[in-house]
Chains A and B, each alone.
Chain A
């Protein structure tokens, strides 16, 4: 089987090794398959977390808009309330004035 050669060439060993094929055990594919499944799961989780982040950002923006809108609405209604209070006061004053004038003349 082993034959010694005098010249210093590794060509045959090189050729044998470069052309060599060594079928791995069946368990190797199972491990790769499992690894690929894990990677796919990671990818799905990553994609879902991105979607979640986008949704959360959109929800925060929407919430912000609603809050701002509400604050505008409430300040407007406060203005209306103030205005109506002023009108009521005016009414009261005018009634009081009428009463005072009435009492002066009577």
Chain B
């Protein structure tokens, strides 16, 4: 997805048609990110609005280095994290789960997007956020710990718990499918 410079400049000048066009092309991707991090559709929608407001008001700061979509994605992820931080969902350390090893977890593949989102909806916010940041965004545990103001061990344990929980949910769904 490419955005020519003149398009971005038109958005900076407040051209509503250009802004709407930018929104139309970016919103499906950014909405998917919000949906992935936030526990409900309403929360995802609220964060998406905030993310676009931030994108529009910071457009002049985009210097054309790297893809525009990547820049917008990063802003959206940060908005999600800010929204989650406000709820203080990362305060509970889960270091007791650290004895588990990620290698022990069986995982499921090729799930449809909706099915994955449904599974993520069943994860506690902390697990879900760390899973998203580590597995999907590719953050390191150190970066996650800094972003969420938690310890590296908590980040690691939340990831392991997330994988374990996901695997058990997938197994459950799988047996339900076989049963029906």
Chain A contact residues, CB within 8 Å of chain B: 1-14, 16-18, 20-25, 27-29, 31-33, 35-36, 39-40
Task: List B residues 123-180 near A (Cβ within 8 Å).
Answer: 132, 135-136, 163, 170-171, 173-174, 177
Cα-based distance from A57 to B20 in the complex (angstroms): 41
Residue contacts A-B, CB under 8 angstroms, 24 given: A1-B112, A2-B170, A3-B109, A4-B170, A8-B102, A8-B105, A10-B107, A10-B135, A12-B109, A13-B108, A13-B116, A13-B136, A16-B111, A22-B28, A22-B31, A23-B28, A24-B28, A28-B31, A28-B48, A29-B27, A32-B49, A32-B52, A33-B16, A36-B53
B36 pairs with A17, CB closer than 8 A: yes
The 5 closest A-B pairs by CB, nearest first: A12-B109, A21-B28, A20-B32, A22-B32, A24-B31
Interface residue from B31, B52, B177 paired with A2 (Cβ < 8 Å): B177
Chain B contact residues, CB within 8 Å of chain A: 14, 16, 19-20, 23, 27-29, 31-32, 35-36, 45, 48-49, 52-53, 56-57, 102-103, 105-113, 115-116, 132, 135-136, 163, 170-171, 173-174, 177
List A contacts of B53 (CB < 8 A). Answer: 32, 35-36, 39
List B contacts of A16 (CB < 8 A). Answer: 110-113, 116
List B contacts of A11 (CB < 8 A). Answer: 109
List B contacts of A27 (CB < 8 A). Answer: 45
| Known contacts A28-B45, A36-B56; is-contact A23 B31 (Cβ 8 Å) | yes
B108 pairs with A4, CB closer than 8 A: yes
List A contacts of B107 (CB < 8 A). Answer: 5, 7-10, 13
**How far in angstroms is the closest Cβ of chain B from A15?**
9
List B contacts of A9 (CB < 8 A). Answer: 107, 109
Q: Tell me if B's interface is mostly helix, strand, loop or mixed.
A: helix
B27 pairs with A23, CB closer than 8 A: yes
A5 pairs with B45, CB closer than 8 A: no
A4 pairs with B32, CB closer than 8 A: no
| Known contacts A5-B106, A32-B52; is-contact A22 B115 (Cβ 8 Å) | no
**How far in angstroms is the closest Cβ of chain A from B96?**
22
| Known contacts A1-B112, A13-B107; is-contact A28 B177 (Cβ 8 Å) | no
Cα-based distance from A39 to B19 in the complex (angstroms): 14
List B contacts of A28 (CB < 8 A). Answer: 27, 31, 45, 48-49, 52
List A contacts of B132 (CB < 8 A). Answer: 17
Cα-based distance from A13 to B49 in the complex (angstroms): 26
Cα-based distance from A1 to B53 in the complex (angstroms): 38
**How far in angstroms is the closest Cβ of chain B from A25?**
7
List B contacts of A10 (CB < 8 A). Answer: 107, 135, 163
